Amino acid sequence: MEIVAADVIVTSPNRNFVTLKITTDDGLTGLGDATLNGRELAVVSYLRDHVVPLLIGRDAHRIEDTWQFLYRSAYWRRGPVTMAAIAAVDMALWDIKGKAAGMPVYQLLGGASRNGLMAYGHASGKSLPELFDSIRDHQEQGYRSIRVQTGVPGLTAIYGIAAQSTSGERYDHEPAQRGGYPTEEDWDTRAYLRHVPTVFEAVRNEFGPELPLLHDGHHRMTPIQAATLGKSLEPYDLFWLEDCTPAENQEALRLVRQHTTTPLAIGEIFNTVWDFQSLIKEQLIDYVRAASTHFGGITPLRKVMDYAAQYQVKSGFHGPTDVSPVGLAAQMHVGLAIHNFGIQEYMKHGAHTNRVFQQSFTFEDGYLHPGDRPGLGVDLDVDEAGKYPYEVAYLPYNRLADGTVHDW
């Protein structure tokens, strides 16, 4: 089965998405997600200029060989642009293999290990009443696990909090709100560290001990600050504390781990299994936050999870709206098949996005399922996609009170 075409489709229905569509000589097509939020066009060029010409004529069945060929023959390995491009090829080939076999991809990965994937949603609020409303709203939508992000007194704009204070408004970065230069937000770690434990105490008092609660530190703390936060959150029994320190320095987690039993999750900006090597082996984390899209696709995601299984480390794949419905489907198939599934992040895509990408997954009673259509279960309506041209859109960034740039 030969690859005869590979097209890169850029569309911005609610936000920018980059999708690779591979076509074979027997007419099968497969989709892969190559979206890299804020740096989309770099991946488009990597694919169009350097990958697509190499794909034509290759055997579409040889997924592992194609992955190794793209990874090793470039010589310049790793990095988000390279790995998002390879991920798109990998997903598209799994999609094609599933269609050729007449089976959903999770069947090719060993079949379902569970009935559905527990998903968590993003509740947020500038104040406690807003936060409580947002948690209730998520519970009404069916979520059984909830990420809690909160405003901090004295800070005007902060990661994870919806721009509008209207109840039910969800946190996201749609292109319309973003534009051609990163907006500036403010940050003060000491104020954050004082405030967050009081919020989790209030949430536990209001919602009881059962509800799994998660929190994202978004890379902002030093190791000792993260250790302090983990310790102060122990009474509130978090499901996880995510990205408590910047991910570049993996040794930081050793220090955090020595001080707290709050479970730790990291890795949404990691690109390869090597980034997790010592974190898993030394049991410094509890959850792998990789996303199929930024990690080279289904093939390496499966590999890192098999490695993690030996250390009882589970999955918590990254599922914000900047992972497209194709990338989300890809990791749902992996999550359903592996034994060491933990939880799946699920931010709902916007209505326009759902018109461009027709999907077969379901979300019922807090659980996701990728569906049983052959392949990944996602189609792309090219005409609909064409209605939404690319819009330049950058993520915000942070400055401290004295003007120093800080991690966002």
User: With binding defined as CB under 6 A, does residue 175 bind ligand GCO?
Assistant: no
Q: Taking a C-beta distance cutoff of 8 angstroms, is the pair 217, 266 a contact?
A: no
Q: Taking a C-beta distance cutoff of 8 angstroms, is the pair 134, 125 a contact?
A: yes
* 3-state SS, one letter per residue, for 228-286: HHHHHHHHHCCCEEECCCCCCCCCHHHHHHHHCCCCEEECCCCCCHHHHHHHHHCCCCC
Options 14-22, 129-137, 317-325, 380-388: segment touching ligand GCO (CB under 6 A): 317-325
Interface residue with ligand GCO, options 40, 268, 275, 286 (CB under 6 A):
268
Q: Among Mg ion, ligand GCO, none, what binds residue 37 when CB lies within 5 to 8 Å by partner kind?
A: ligand GCO
Segment 322-361, which members bind ligand GCO (CB under 6 A)?
322, 345
Please state whether beta strands 264-266 and 240-242 pair in parallel, antiparallel, or not at all (unpaired): parallel
Minimum CB distance to ligand GCO, residue 332 (Å)? 16
Q: Which is nearer to Mg ion, 390 or 394 (CB)?
A: 394
End-to-end CA gap in the chain: 45
Q: Taking a C-beta distance cutoff of 8 angstroms, is the pair 119, 344 a contact?
A: yes
User: With binding defined as CB under 6 A, does residue 133 bind ligand GCO?
Assistant: no
Tally of residues, the chain: 408
Is 390 a residue of the active site?
Answer: no
387: Cβ contacts below 8 Å, ≥ 6 apart: none
Query: Which uninterrupted H or E stretch holds 19?
Result: strand 17-24
CB count in 10 Å sphere of residue 53: 10
CB count in 10 Å sphere of residue 303: 14
Q: Among Mg ion, ligand GCO, none, what binds residue 95 when CB lies within 5 to 8 Å by partner kind?
A: none
Instruction: Name the active-site residue from 159, 171, 192, 346.
Output: 159
Minimum CB distance to Mg ion, residue 26 (Å)? 40
User: With binding defined as CB under 6 A, does residue 37 bind ligand GCO?
Assistant: yes
Residue in 214, 220, 255 with CA at minimum distance from that of residue 342: 214
Q: Among ligand GCO, Mg ion, none, what binds residue 126 when CB lies within 5 to 8 Å by partner kind?
A: none
| Binding residues for ligand GCO, total number by CB under 6 A | 9
Q: Among Mg ion, ligand GCO, none, what binds residue 320 when CB lies within 5 to 8 Å by partner kind?
A: ligand GCO
Options 72-80, 112-120, 185-193, 262-270: segment touching Mg ion (CB under 5 A): 262-270
Q: Which is nearer to ligand GCO, 128 or 395 (CB)?
A: 395
User: With binding defined as CB under 6 A, does residue 33 bind ligand GCO?
Assistant: no
Q: Among ligand GCO, Mg ion, none, what binds residue 322 when CB lies within 5 to 8 Å by partner kind?
A: ligand GCO
367: Cβ contacts below 8 Å, ≥ 6 apart: 115, 116, 117, 118, 119
Q: Among Mg ion, ligand GCO, none, what binds residue 112 when CB lies within 5 to 8 Å by partner kind?
A: none
Is 339 a residue of the active site?
Answer: no
Minimum CB distance to ligand GCO, residue 316 (Å)? 9
Q: Taking a C-beta distance cutoff of 8 angstroms, is the pair 309, 281 a contact?
A: no
314: Cβ contacts below 8 Å, ≥ 6 apart: 286, 287, 288, 308, 340, 341, 342, 343
Segment 183-222, which members bind Mg ion (CB under 5 A)?
216
Minimum CB distance to Mg ion, residue 395 (Å)? 12
Tokens of 183: 């907006």
**Distance of alpha carbon 403 from alpha carbon 399, whole angstroms:** 5
Instruction: Name the active-site residue from 122, 215, 218, 318.
Output: 218
Segment 329-358, which members bind Mg ion (CB under 5 A)?
none
Q: Which residues bind ligand GCO (CB under 6 A)?
A: 37, 216, 218, 268, 318, 320, 322, 345, 395
Q: Which residues bind Mg ion (CB under 5 A)?
A: 216, 268
Q: Supply the residues annotated as catalytic.
A: 159, 218
